[in-house]
């Protein structure tokens, strides 16, 4: 069974933590899958994919976005 966090916001929208810190915290908590779902931007997810790929980190990133509707 995989442990997943599928709804996290980074400082690319209204979250307080940067993407690198979110990834580090997830790995420390033994989370296998992380989805950064910032409001109206995919930039946090793209940044996470780049970081995990470059550093060969042991976590799966699922790109996500929380779309605002009005």
For the chain, how many structural domains are there in total? 1
Write down the pTM of the prediction.
Answer: 0.94
Per-residue model confidence (pLDDT) at position 70: 84
Per-residue model confidence (pLDDT) at position 47: 99
* Residue 32 within any structural domain of the chain: yes
* Residue 68 within any structural domain of the chain: no
Give first-to-last CA distance, the chain, whole Å: 37
Query: DSSP string of 40-70?
Result: T--HHHHHHHHHHHHHT-S-EE----B----
* Residue 30 within any structural domain of the chain: yes
* Residue 14 within any structural domain of the chain: yes
Domain membership of residue 31 as a residue range: 4-61
* Residue 70 within any structural domain of the chain: no
Per-residue pLDDT of the chain (70 residues; tens, 9 = 90+): 999 999 999 999 999 999 999 999 999 999 999 999 999 999 999 999 999 999 999 999 999 999 999 8
* Residue 54 within any structural domain of the chain: yes
């Amino acid at each position: 069974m995989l442990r997943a966090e599928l709804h996290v916001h980074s400082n690319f929208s209204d979250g307080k933590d940067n993407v690198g810190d979110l990834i580090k915290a997830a790995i420390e908590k033994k989370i296998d899958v992380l989805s950064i779902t910032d409001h109206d931007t995919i930039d946090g997810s793209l940044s996470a994919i780049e970081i995990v790929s470059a550093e060969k980190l042991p976590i799966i990133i699922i790109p996500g976005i929380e779309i605002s509707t009005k």
